[in-house]
């Protein structure tokens, strides 16, 4: 690595991977609870397992984004991080707060957790994905402010690149839109309306800027293509992301009590949401095809290309599948949504974080790239996780289509639980695919410990034109 302060990224990456493992464990638990309702009941009820699964996802991705930013920003700004100490302190605050929150979910009934954390003073709990106690949310805001101050000061004092500025814009947006988690109107329509300002405007808005910036950074490094070319692509991609994603929020407003025009706005703009993901695919393959160097980190390149492909499939294709209002009328809240959610999160955000880790971790450990044996193991983990995620998505889509057919698109709709029983086979298959995913993840962790021929710590023979 070029700057010693980039080392603060390492604990963030380690924590991210650890929490990722936890997320998948709870995913497997709740996957089994779909077909074996009493599994681990009453110790871990389904609603708690689901909350832990989704909250861990959000927290570890945030750890990943922050680690990526701490690694990337000094290198782009060509100076040391403003305050490595602040980064380390914030890491421990965030980790402890996150761990306590998860323990709270698991050890105390949710209502009691609300009492203990004095939710009544500023009630923000009880909403899907934003279940964190208010005090944790305040902690997240403090960590985010400290983090933005740290990287903001680094960028202000150093070189301003498009990658840096797009990343900073995305992270600022992430922090700003999280503030809507504190706004809980009594009116249920307004409540859902502004809830989406956090959830949608994160994953289909500002997070796409973070994704674009991280992908651009890794591609600059591993392909050696001129920065100017990559930056032009990045401008167009983020412009399309914001043009389509912001008003595309409307696809969540169809059935919550908002005016009917949202069915038009939501349908039209969200139908265009695959475009930036498609452009990202063309961008990534184009850059790799035009590469001016053979970077020794083949695994990072695989993750980068995989991100482009899987985000287009998961966020683009599977999003489009059920985004038009006349289709969504039948499909909303079915397993089709779960299918889209799984592949989109994995393809876009899990994979980009793993791309950055794959690129940065060897450098943080004093190598240009991991040894070839470790890379082989890592690439195995890539394929196991990616292929099993494709199957998880297909099984959930199959379950969702049948659910729509039997429960929604019929003159004689069957009861919810009757339908659930009839599609149980898909849940078993999904669980099996989930077990394969876990195997891939274990291999991924193992890949960090595989020893082999050590590479040079500096990019000898690999000119860094960026």
Partner 1 sequence: MADASGKSLAITAEALYLTNLMLAPGLAFVLLLGLYWFNRNTTDALARNHLSQTVGVSLTGGALIAVAGGIFLYLGGLTSGYTLMTLLFYFTFIHSSLIFMGVFGLVKAMAGEHFVYPLIGRLFRA
Residues forming the site for partner 1 (CB under 8 A): 274, 278, 281-282, 285-286, 289-290, 309, 313, 317, 321, 394, 397-398, 401-402, 404-406
CB of 271 to partner 1, least distance (A): 10
C-alpha distances in Å from residue 38, one per residue of 34, 44, 147, 280 = 9, 10, 42, 43
The number of CA neighbours under 13 Å toward the Cβ of 291 is: 19
CB of 299 to partner 1, least distance (A): 21
Nearer to partner 1, 205 or 274 (CB): 274
> What whole-number distance in Å separates Cα of residue 339 and Cα of residue 206?
22
Nearer to partner 1, 30 or 237 (CB): 237
Nearer to partner 1, 181 or 397 (CB): 397
DSSP code string of 15-64:
HHHHHHHHHHHHHHHHHHHHHSTTTTTTTS-HHHHHHHHHHHHHHHHHHH
CB of 402 to partner 1, least distance (A): 5
Nearer to partner 1, 145 or 282 (CB): 282
Q: Are 276 and 211 in contact (CB under 8 A)?
A: no
> What whole-number distance in Å separates Cα of residue 173 and Cα of residue 212?
14
Nearer to partner 1, 6 or 403 (CB): 403
CB of 363 to partner 1, least distance (A): 28
CB of 111 to partner 1, least distance (A): 39
Nearer to partner 1, 139 or 398 (CB): 398
CB of 105 to partner 1, least distance (A): 35
> What whole-number distance in Å separates Cα of residue 283 and Cα of residue 288?
9
Alpha helices in 249-334 (DSSP H): 261-271, 274-289, 298-311, 318-321, 325-331
> What whole-number distance in Å separates Cα of residue 77 and Cα of residue 401?
49
> What whole-number distance in Å separates Cα of residue 333 and Cα of residue 256?
12
> What whole-number distance in Å separates Cα of residue 362 and Cα of residue 378?
12
Nearer to partner 1, 184 or 327 (CB): 327
Q: Are 418 and 434 in contact (CB under 8 A)?
A: no
Nearer to partner 1, 325 or 423 (CB): 423
CB of 226 to partner 1, least distance (A): 14
The rounded Cα 441 to chain-centroid distance in angstroms is 16
Nearer to partner 1, 264 or 285 (CB): 285
CB of 279 to partner 1, least distance (A): 10
Q: Are 141 and 84 in contact (CB under 8 A)?
A: no
CB of 397 to partner 1, least distance (A): 7
Closest CA to 72 of 144, 145, 171: 171
C-alpha distances in Å from residue 304, one per residue of 2, 283, 350, 445 = 22, 11, 11, 18
Closest CA to 379 of 280, 324, 304: 304
Q: Are 27 and 44 in contact (CB under 8 A)?
A: no
């Amino acid at each position: 690595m070029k700057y010693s302060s980039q080392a603060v990224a390492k604990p963030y990456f380690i924590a991210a991977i650890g929490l990722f493992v936890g997320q998948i464990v709870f995913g497997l638990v709740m996957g089994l609870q779909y077909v074996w309702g009493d599994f681990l009941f009453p110790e871990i009820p389904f609603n708690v397992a689901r909350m832990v699964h989704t909250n861990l996802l959000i927290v570890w991705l945030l750890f990943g984004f922050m680690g990526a930013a701490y690694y990337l920003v000094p290198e782009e700004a060509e100076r040391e991080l403003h305050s490595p100490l602040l980064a380390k302190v914030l890491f421990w605050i965030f980790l402890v707060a996150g761990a306590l929150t998860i323990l709270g979910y698991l050890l105390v009934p949710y209502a009691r957790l609300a009492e203990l954390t004095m939710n009544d003073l500023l009630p923000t709990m009880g909403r899907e994905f934003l279940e964190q106690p208010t005090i944790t949310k305040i902690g997240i805001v403090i960590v985010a402010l400290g983090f933005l101050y740290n990287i903001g000061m680094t960028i202000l004092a150093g070189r301003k690149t498009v990658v840096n500025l797009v990343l900073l814009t995305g992270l600022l947006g992430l922090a700003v839109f999280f503030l809507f988690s504190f706004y809980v109107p009594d009116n249920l329509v307004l409540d859902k309306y502004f809830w989406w300002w956090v959830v949608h405007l994160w994953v289909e808005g500002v997070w796409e800027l973070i994704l674009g910036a991280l992908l651009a950074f890794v591609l600059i490094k591993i392909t050696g293509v001129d920065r100017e070319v990559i930056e032009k692509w990045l401008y167009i991609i983020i412009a399309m992301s914001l043009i389509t994603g912001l008003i595309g929020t409307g696809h969540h407003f169809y059935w919550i009590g908002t005016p009917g025009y949202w069915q038009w706005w939501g349908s039209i703009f969200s139908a265009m949401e695959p475009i930036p993901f498609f452009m990202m695919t063309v961008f990534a393959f184009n850059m790799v095809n035009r590469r001016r160097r053979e970077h020794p980190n083949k695994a990072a390149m695989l993750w980068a290309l995989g991100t482009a492909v899987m985000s287009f499939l998961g966020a683009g294709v599977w999003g489009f599948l059920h985004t038009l209002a006349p289709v969504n009328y039948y499909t909303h809240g079915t397993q089709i949504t779960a299918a889209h959610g799984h592949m989109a999160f994995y393809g876009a955000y899990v994979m980009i974080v793993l791309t950055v880790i794959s690129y940065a971790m060897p450098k943080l450990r004093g190598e240009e790239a991991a040894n070839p044996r470790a890379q082989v193991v890592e690439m195995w983990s890539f394929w196991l996780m990616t292929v099993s995620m494709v199957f998880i998505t297909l099984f959930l889509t199959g379950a969702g289509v049948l659910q729509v057919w039997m429960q929604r698109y019929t003159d004689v709709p069957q009861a919810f639980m009757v339908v659930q029983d009839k599609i149980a086979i898909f849940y078993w298959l999904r669980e099996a695919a989930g077990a394969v995913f876990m195997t891939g993840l274990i291999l991924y962790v193992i890949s960090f410990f595989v020893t082999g021929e050590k590479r040079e710590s500096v990019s000898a023979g690999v000119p860094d034109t960026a």
